[in-house]
Amino acid sequence: MTITDPDQDRGLYGKYRVEKLNGKPVGECFVLEAHDPHAIAALHAYVGSCAGENRALAIDLTRMADRWETEQKRPRVELPKCSSCHRERTLNDAYDYNPLQVVTGQPLGWYSGDDGEVCPECMTKMLRG
Ligand SMILES: [Zn+2]
């Protein structure tokens, strides 16, 4: 499977709306997200530039870069998706489907089988109309 990055070859464009917590206007700025593969190198470069005048910031940014690096190395978990509505399973979908739920009239859980995944909402529609 190939993951296509919508930003690939797009150049610089307005992707974020940034505001200061004190309400003052924001000048031109550049935002980096933790998952960006170049963000860690950029943080290290900034640390190298600011360390002489703001040691606390350099330390905090180094810790941030370390966290981002750990996060980027972690394998991304593929969440199960409902084969009917394509919704991803969340923590609210803690309960698995069980045929007893149908018999006893209980709310249905998330169906997960060799034939696919079905969310409780779609399962309810299928079984109870
Ligand atoms: Zn569904």
Give the pairing type, strands 116-118 and 111-113: antiparallel
Spacing, Cα 55 to ligand 1 middle (Å): 51
Spacing, Cα 14 to ligand 1 middle (Å): 34
Question: pLDDT category, 3, cuts 50, 70, 90?
Answer: low
Spacing, Cα 7 to ligand 1 middle (Å): 30
Would you state the structure tokens that stand for residue 78, as one six-digit string? 């593929």
What is the rounded average pLDDT for all residues in the chain?
91
pTM: predicted TM-score of the whole model, two decimal places: 0.55
pLDDT tens for 37-84 read 899 999 999 999 999 999 999 999 999 999 999 999 988 778 899 999
Spacing, Cα 114 to ligand 1 middle (Å): 16
Spacing, Cα 3 to ligand 1 middle (Å): 24
